């Protein structure tokens, strides 16, 4: 095996300034596109016992990275997903449309059931907290990883045509998300209002996925602005509530 040839194939772009700019841009976009994945991960692993959450978090993000890289290596298959498979009432349906539609519906369903569970009156009698099975949680993470990976990979393919750059961007972005995911999980769990906001954000993301599957593209910038504005208002409310609590003591 000629390792020098393999090294050249993997790093032939290293002296190309434009490739480095593309790498930095793609890392940023991958992190932004991974925010909804992080929020879903934080909410879904909260159903697990405390001792299993860290394992599920690492496993979930590792799955996200592997699924993205696997799709990247299968570039021709990914591109074929955008080709029509069949026509339904003059509407051309592709594999990508089906994946986005099913994934969007699953996201809407999951977020809605989580909100419903949070709004149900709690039994006043002390009882052991019911936790979800680890395998079921991992299966749900895998389903959404495929959907989010498809969106992420198609973005990467549309931006860069150098496979090693795309793989490096995905690995770096997942490492960054792994570093911040625990803090996000703790913050969401300790603030119920933020958790409701996060679930509402997931419903919005699900709606955009379903709309995108029907070729009605909703710019994600609108969604991110809406959630950022709502989060800013909620952070002010949390700060004021803590200030009032301190003043009352």
Domain regions of the chain by residue span: 19-84+91-119+131-248
Of the candidates 137, 121, 86, 106, the residue with the CA atom closest to the CA atom of residue 205: 106
192 neighbors 104 (Cβ within 8 angstroms)? no
pLDDT tens track for 199-227: 787 788 788 888 888 888 887 777 777 87
By CB atoms closer than 10 A (0-12, 13-18, 19+), residue 76 is exposed
pLDDT at position 2 is 54
pLDDT at position 116 is 80
CA pair distance 118, 110, nearest whole angstrom: 12
pLDDT at position 9 is 55
93 neighbors 87 (Cβ within 8 angstroms)? yes
Distant-in-sequence, close-in-space partners of 39: CB < 8 Å, separation ≥ 6: 184, 188, 198, 201, 202
Of the candidates 84, 88, 137, 85, the residue with the CA atom closest to the CA atom of residue 114: 137
CA dihedral 214, 220, 226, 227 (to 10 degrees): 100
24 neighbors 128 (Cβ within 8 angstroms)? no
How far from chain centre, in Å, is Cα 123?
A: 33
pLDDT tens track for 111-126: 788 788 777 665 544 4
Token reading at 45: 């692993």
Sign of CA dihedral 34, 36, 41, 42: positive
215 neighbors 94 (Cβ within 8 angstroms)? no
- The single-letter DSSP state of residue 90 is T
22 neighbors 162 (Cβ within 8 angstroms)? yes
Residue ranges of the chain whose pLDDT lies below 70 = 1-13, 29, 32-33, 75-80, 120-132, 150-152, 154-161, 247-249
151 neighbors 208 (Cβ within 8 angstroms)? no
pLDDT at position 197 is 80
CA pair distance 209, 228, nearest whole angstrom: 19
């Amino acid at each position: 095996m000629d390792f020098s040839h393999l090294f050249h194939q993997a790093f032939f772009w290293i002296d190309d300034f434009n490739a480095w700019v593309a790498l930095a841009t793609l890392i940023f976009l991958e992190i932004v596109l991974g925010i909804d994945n992080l929020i879903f991960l934080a909410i879904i692993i909260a159903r697990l016992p405390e001792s299993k959450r860290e394992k599920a978090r690492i496993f979930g993000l590792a799955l996200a990275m592997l699924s993205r890289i696997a799709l990247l290596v299968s570039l021709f298959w990914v591109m074929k997903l955008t080709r029509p498979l069949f026509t339904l009432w003059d509407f051309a349906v592709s594999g990508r449309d089906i994946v986005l539609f099913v994934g969007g519906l699953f996201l809407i369903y999951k977020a809605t059931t989580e909100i419903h569970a949070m709004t149900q009156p709690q039994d006043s009698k002390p009882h052991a907290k019911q936790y979800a099975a680890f395998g079921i949680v991992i299966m749900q993470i895998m389903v959404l990883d495929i959907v989010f990976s498809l969106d992420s990979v198609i973005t990467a393919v549309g931006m860069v045509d150098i496979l090693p750059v795309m793989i490096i961007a995905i690995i770096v972005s997942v490492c960054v998300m792994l570093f911040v995911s625990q803090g996000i999980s703790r913050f969401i769990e300790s603030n119920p209002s933020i958790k409701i906001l996060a679930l509402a954000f997931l419903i919005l993301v699900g709606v955009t996925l379903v709309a995108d599957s029907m070729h009605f593209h909703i710019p994600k910038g609108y969604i991110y602005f809406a959630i950022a504005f709502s989060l800013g208002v909620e952070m002010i409310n949390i700060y004021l509530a803590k200030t009032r609590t301190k003043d009352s003591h």
